[in-house]
Amino acid sequence: MENYSSLERDLSDMKAYFGTGKTKEASWRQSQLKALHKFLLENEDQIFKALNQDLGKPQVEAFRDEVGTLIKTLNFVTKSLKQWMAGKEAKLPRIAVLSSAEIVAEPLGLVLIFSSWNFPLGLSLEPLIGAVAAGNSVVLKPSEMSPACSSLLANVLPSYLDSNAIKIIQGGPTLGELLLKQRWDKIFFTGSARVGRIVMSAAAEHLTPVSLELGGKCPALLDSLATTWDREVAVQRILVAKFGACAGQACITIDYILVEKAFISTLIPLLKAGIKKMFGENPRESKSIARIVNKQHFLRLKSLINSDPKVKESVVLGGSFDEDNLFIEPTILVDPPLESAIMTDEIFGPLLPIITVEKIEDSVKFINSRAKPLAIYAFTKNKSLQKRMVAETSSGSLVFNDAIVQYIADTLPFGGVGESGFGKYHGKFSFDIFSHHKAVARRSYYTDFWYRFPPWTLKKLQL
Ligand code: NAD
């Protein structure tokens, strides 16, 4: 589909193919899932190379967050599909005597998937797996900002798949806008709130259902914790979530931490020691931290610190930038001004502000004064604070004493709320988001209650 002039014809062919019913067959769905599995196994080295080229992603991260996670998903979906496809029995009210009912999952039709560049394989294939498992035809447009991965997806993956039903096309906003003018049965979008708004307005034209997987600022509350052991475990988990997952370029990374003022003097040495343990004395030479995706994002991150003297003064660890290698040192800031860009915009990079509060319980009010995040993390053993977090805050996910682990769970819905988006996927939720759950009811001709038919005498109300 490189030739955009043939787009409308290609889409019309795809709709016709969907109309044949081929993609609804369980065997077709399983064959495509198997093909995706084969693609991942046979091209693992090329995938690692492409992820390294686009993002300097270390191989362990590339396996953990993309190849390995996708293989896990494929195994789970392949194993569960038969059960998901089987209709689910339901009950009808007594008035429909001698009846049966079921809920049948049917594919939506031709669906469009837009993905982001930070996990270019994962964010493209995780929804594709759901769409194919549900029996849809799919057009996938990966991000132009991770060109090596997009090219691998568009040039190598199609030879594994049924190209009558699944197409992968490369392009940026111009192609995106062209695609949005077409009529789809579903649009699944991962990206920024800015483009999410464009997607949603375009979808309104055809009343197309939309899922928006967006981002925002995910806070982590860090209680003072009672023991050195707990503190070190918490710090280690915070550091790997922030700096050890695409260098903070992740939608569910920790954007900033909330801690009690009195805890800062204990925390900074722990963070310093943790960073040294993970990335060495000189992180610039570390092979364990990804690079910033491109110069534009590098300069955006640099200006978050350098364009505001008060923010610059708040840097307590790191703070060095190497433009030639698109490298940013893991950087910790304490109390940058709350109205500065680093505290109002999503950071999406290896800069970690710490905001101090008098009492850790004040964090709840702080979090609730801002947009609903994609994820909230709370490192605390305080049961009553945990209860308050569950009851009083709202976010796509809420994790106690760790971060990012929710992403790999097939059993949990993944998605946002409020400004972090809407629509849940992963595991069975992916199957559901790409399905229409049709109500099917069956009646017998045998009998009926007399009072369900006119004439409407008041006697019929008294029953
Ligand atoms: P983006 O919105 O710039 O791009 C996303 C997709 O939209 C890309 O495929 C891009 O080519 C396309 N696009 C860009 N402009 C368009 C236009 N005018 N019309 C149509 N399509 C257009 O976002 P990004 O830079 O790729 O990603 C960063 C954002 O995504 C962050 O906010 C991050 O938090 C969020 N994100 C969310 C998740 C999640 O799962 N919730 C995952 C990764 C990233």
Determine the pLDDT at residue 5: 74
Determine the pLDDT at residue 96: 85
The residue whose two tokens read 């997607």 is 199
Token duo for residue 114:
């837009």
pTM of the full structure: 0.96
Q: Which DSSP string do the residues of 156-178 spell out, in sequence order?
A: TGGGTS-TTTEEE----HHHHHH
Around ligand 1, the residues with Cβ closer than 6 Å are 114-118, 123, 141, 143-144, 172-173, 176-177, 180, 190-192, 195, 198, 213-215, 251, 346, 348, 374, 416, 421
Coil, strand, or helix at residue 1?
Answer: coil
- In the reported structure, the alpha carbon of residue 234 is separated from the centroid of ligand 1 by a whole-number distance in angstroms of 30
- In the reported structure, the alpha carbon of residue 212 is separated from the centroid of ligand 1 by a whole-number distance in angstroms of 10
Determine the pLDDT at residue 87: 87
Query: Rounded to an integer, what distance in angstroms lies between the CA atom of residue 260 and that of residue 361?
Result: 9
Cβ–Cβ < 8 Å for 288, 383: no
What amino acid occupies position 436? H
Determine the pLDDT at residue 431: 98
Cβ–Cβ < 8 Å for 308, 296: no
pLDDT by residue for the chain (463 residues), tens only, comes to: 545 778 999 999 999 999 999 999 999 999 999 999 999 999 999 999 999 999 999 999 999 999 999 999 999 999 999 999 998 999 999 888 889 999 999 999 999 999 999 999 999 999 999 999 999 999 999 999 999 999 999 999 999 999 999 999 999 999 999 999 999 999 999 999 999 999 999 999 999 999 999 999 999 999 998 899 999 999 999 999 999 999 999 999 999 999 999 999 999 999 999 999 999 999 999 999 999 999 999 999 999 999 999 999 999 999 999 999 999 999 999 999 999 999 999 999 999 999 999 999 999 999 999 999 999 999 999 999 999 999 999 999 999 999 999 999 999 999 999 999 999 999 999 999 999 999 999 999 988 889 999 999 999 888 7
Determine the pLDDT at residue 226: 85
From the candidates 61, 213, 260, 419, which is the catalytic residue?
213
ipTM above 0.90, yes or no: yes
Query: Rounded to an integer, what distance in angstroms lies between the CA atom of residue 237 and that of residue 250?
Result: 15
Query: Rounded to an integer, what distance in angstroms lies between the CA atom of residue 251 and that of residue 362?
Result: 25
Q: Of 113, 190, 407, which is best to mutate to test ligand 1, by the most ligand atoms within 8 angstroms of its C-beta?
A: 190
Determine the pLDDT at residue 167: 98
Query: Rounded to an integer, what distance in angstroms lies between the CA atom of residue 209 and that of residue 107?
Result: 13
The residue contributing the CA closest to ligand 1 atom 21 is 176
Question: How far is CA 58 from each of CA 81, 245, 407, 447, rounded to the nearest angstrom?
Answer: 33, 9, 19, 69
For residue 41, what is the enclosing H or E element?
helix 26-42
Determine the pLDDT at residue 219: 98
Token duo for residue 461:
């109300």
Determine the pLDDT at residue 3: 55
Query: Rounded to an integer, what distance in angstroms lies between the CA atom of residue 357 and that of residue 114?
Result: 39
Query: Does residue 213 carry a catalytic annotation?
Result: yes
Determine the pLDDT at residue 217: 98
Strand blocks (E) in 202-287: 210-213, 219-222, 256-260
Determine the pLDDT at residue 166: 98
For residue 377, what is the enclosing H or E element?
strand 375-379
Determine the pLDDT at residue 4: 72
**Closest of 426, 431, 422, 406 to residue 189, by C-alpha:** 422
